[in-house]
């Protein structure tokens, strides 16, 4: 209770974030993407006692299992109200994230006006609001990252086994929420090894304990994946995007986060390079100058470095979606906190009154420009969502206006046909009908394409408005199959496919 009373401003900022999420999801709930269906269907499978299997009855191995487990617990409690409750669940997670960020700012001896501005920037961030209005694992992951920062600060202050175990447990859960959680493992391990307040024997023991606990859940998950599919994280292709191109995308995201993005976007690759160089320099400077090891500044910069390099490396080495706001959002708050930490340090220097006033005015100008940009983006997004819902399988085009999905939803007997059923939007079919159908093969997996072509006959549910360039096109299917129309709708067609 005392914690709440002394952080009323943080609680108020958390309430702002909560309300903004609720408003954006008021029309049709959270946005639902294909990844969302992987998580939801796996949660359904887990609740049914079938283990971790996704909507196409294949083992869930592309992502760790902690987020589907979380969804299954929510669904267990609320049942059919699950989709109505999830916007509130996400809004609460966002509120918790903002509140803990406020605690970090308060403990960092920020002046009140600086703390309020930073909290307002975080709570109104279009990037964070985009994530917390979707059914994505990043919602839980971002909250875990901030909790990790808070708990690791306690450990580095006290250096006790109890606080080490807490930090390690949070790290283990984070790594089991998203594969990118290994950056948390790396951050914690690196900071322990670089800690000058620990003697080498104790340092080695703490690092070993932290490492074993942190990696435990992740290793169990990988072993389970290998036993089911002979792969660690599913079939992943070799990267096709060069490092410099990924650095450009990285810089574009940073540009969207910063004020005056209309002007900085053209210099994205330079922005990305400068940002990585600066935070790398800051981290090394604090290390070499033996600055306090237990400060939030070092933890935030360390995580930002580890996470940034991890994402750039993965996007370069493996075939991956384009680096975007969703993928980089976990280090948005550490990035903003880092900027505020060093601004506060500048203002505490023995500067002349005029110089201090000039710095303050400059920061206020940049802050208000950022908040204004964020407010305008929020207004545009709110109007779009208010009209037809958040883009994805929960918007009106899929939930209300889709004749094909409406037919499938009201005719469950269709799925009892003695034929394998494929679709170019199998995720959407499961979301509306809870029926399992196969994903139309992606052309890069030639063995799956061959299996599809060898089948004498199958049904194909084809959606005209599904934009997935990776799967076979209708023309490619028609090159090996005779397509007989057995149902035609405003947004798609059901075909009987037979071998030529």
Query: How much is the pLDDT for 128?
Result: 97
pLDDT tens figures, 366-425 = 889 899 999 999 999 999 999 889 999 999 999 999 999 999 999 999 998 889 999 999
pLDDT tens figures, 183-241 = 999 999 999 998 888 888 999 999 999 999 999 999 999 999 999 998 888 887 787 88
More confident residue, 110 or 432: 432
Q: Which helix (H) or strand (E) holds 117?
A: helix 112-123
pLDDT tens figures, 108-142 = 867 888 899 999 999 999 999 999 999 999 999 99
Q: Is there a contact between 86 and 135 (Cβ–Cβ < 8 Å)?
A: yes
Percent of the chain, pLDDT > 70?
Answer: 96
Residue 338 pLDDT class (50, 70, 90 cuts): confident
Query: How much is the pLDDT for 500?
Result: 85
Residue 360 pLDDT class (50, 70, 90 cuts): confident
Distance CA 15, CA 85 (A): 17
Beta bridge pairs of residue 485 = 495
Q: Is there a contact between 333 and 146 (Cβ–Cβ < 8 Å)?
A: yes
The token pair at 232 is: 């660690």
Query: How much is the pLDDT for 281?
Result: 87
Q: Shortest CA distance to 295 belongs to which of 305, 306, 307, 283?
A: 283
DSSP state of 109: T
Q: How many CB atoms lie within 10 A of CB 63?
A: 22
The separation between CA 408 and the C-alpha centre of its own chain, rounded to angstroms, equals 31
pLDDT tens figures, 163-180 = 999 999 999 999 999 999
Query: How much is the pLDDT for 111?
Result: 81
Query: How much is the pLDDT for 240?
Result: 83
Residue 1 has pLDDT above 70, yes or no: no
The separation between CA 298 and the C-alpha centre of its own chain, rounded to angstroms, equals 23
Query: How much is the pLDDT for 344?
Result: 75
Distance CA 390, CA 93 (A): 19
Residue 41 has pLDDT above 90, yes or no: yes
pLDDT tens figures, 440-492 = 998 888 889 999 999 999 999 999 989 888 899 999 999 999 999 999 999 99
Q: In the chain, how long is the greatest CA-to-CA distance?
A: 84
Would strands 457-463 and 438-439 be described as parallel, antiparallel, or unpaired?
unpaired
Highest mean pLDDT, choosing among 57-61, 139-143, 342-346: 139-143
Query: How much is the pLDDT for 94?
Result: 98
Query: How much is the pLDDT for 342?
Result: 79
pLDDT tens figures, 267-312 = 889 999 999 998 888 888 877 776 565 688 889 999 999 999 999 9
Average pLDDT over residues 33-62: 94
Q: Shortest CA distance to 225 belongs to which of 235, 212, 213, 214?
A: 235
Q: Is there a contact between 378 and 19 (Cβ–Cβ < 8 Å)?
A: no
Least confident range from 73-82, 137-146, 210-219, 319-328: namely 319-328
Q: Is there a contact between 148 and 177 (Cβ–Cβ < 8 Å)?
A: no
Q: Is there a contact between 320 and 314 (Cβ–Cβ < 8 Å)?
A: yes
Q: Which helix (H) or strand (E) holds 429?
A: helix 426-433
Distance CA 65, CA 48 (A): 15
Q: Shortest CA distance to 143 belongs to which of 358, 332, 383, 422?
A: 332
The token pair at 452 is: 């599809």
DSSP state of 442: B
Kindly tell me the burial class for residue 479, based on how many C-beta atoms sit within 10 Å of its own C-beta (0-12, 13-18, 19 or more): exposed
| 3 state SS for 393-423 | CCCHHHHCCCHHHHHHHHCHHHHHCCCCEEE
């Amino acid at each position: 209770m005392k914690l709440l009373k002394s952080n009323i401003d943080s609680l108020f900022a958390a309430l702002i974030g909560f309300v903004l999420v609720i408003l954006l999801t008021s029309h049709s709930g959270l946005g639902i993407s294909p990844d969302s269906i992987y998580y939801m269907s796996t949660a359904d499978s887990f609740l049914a006692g079938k283990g971790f299997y996704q909507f196409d009855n294949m083992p869930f191995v592309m992502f760790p299992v902690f987020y589907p487990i979380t969804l299954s617990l929510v669904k267990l409690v609320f049942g059919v109200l699950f989709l109505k409750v999830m916007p509130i669940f996400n809004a609460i997670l966002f509120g918790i994230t903002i509140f803990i960020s406020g605690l970090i700012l308060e403990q960092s001896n920020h002046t009140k006006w600086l703390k309020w501005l930073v909290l307002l920037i975080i709570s109104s961030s279009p990037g964070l609001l985009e994530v917390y209005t979707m059914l994505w694992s990043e919602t839980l992951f971002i909250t875990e990252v901030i909790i990790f920062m808070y708990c690791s600060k306690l450990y580095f202050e006290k250096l006790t086994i109890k606080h080490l175990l807490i930090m390690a447990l949070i790290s283990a859960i984070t790594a089991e929420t998203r594969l990118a959680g290994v950056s948390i493992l790396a951050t914690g391990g690196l900071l322990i090894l670089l800690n000058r307040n620990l003697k080498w024997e104790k340092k080695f023991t703490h690092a070993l304990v932290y490492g074993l606990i942190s990696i435990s859940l992740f290793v169990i998950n990988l072993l389970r994946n290998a036993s089911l599919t002979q792969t660690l994280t599913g079939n992943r292709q070799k990267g096709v995007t060069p490092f410099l191109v990924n650095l450009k995308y990285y810089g574009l995201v940073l540009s969207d986060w910063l004020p005056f993005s209309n002007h900085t976007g053209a210099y994205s690759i330079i922005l990305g390079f400068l940002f990585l160089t600066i935070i790398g320099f800051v981290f090394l400077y604090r290390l070499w100058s033996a600055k306090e090891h237990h400060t939030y500044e070092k933890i935030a910069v360390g995580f930002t470095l580890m996470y940034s390099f991890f994402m750039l490396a993965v996007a370069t080495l493996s075939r991956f979606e384009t680096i975007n706001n969703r993928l980089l959002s976990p280090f948005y708050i550490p990035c903003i906190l880092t900027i505020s930490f060093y601004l506060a340090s500048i203002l505490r220097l023995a500067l002349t009154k005029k110089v201090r006033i000039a710095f303050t005015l400059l920061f206020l100008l940049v802050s208000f420009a950022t908040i204004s940009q964020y407010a305008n983006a929020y207004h545009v997004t709110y109007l779009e969502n208010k009209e037809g819902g958040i883009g994805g399988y929960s918007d009106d085009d899929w939930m209300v206006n889709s004749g094909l999905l409406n037919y499938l939803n009201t005719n469950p007997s269709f799925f009892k046909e003695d034929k394998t059923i494929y679709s170019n939007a199998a995720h959407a079919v499961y979301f509306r009908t809870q029926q399992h159908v196969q994903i139309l093969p992606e052309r890069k997996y030639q063995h799956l394409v061959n299996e599809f072509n060898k089948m004498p006959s199958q049904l194909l549910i084809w959606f005209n408005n599904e934009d997935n360039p990776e799967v076979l096109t209708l023309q490619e299917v028609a090159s090996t199959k005779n397509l007989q129309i057995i149902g035609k709708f405003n947004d798609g067609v059901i075909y009987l496919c037979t071998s030529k």
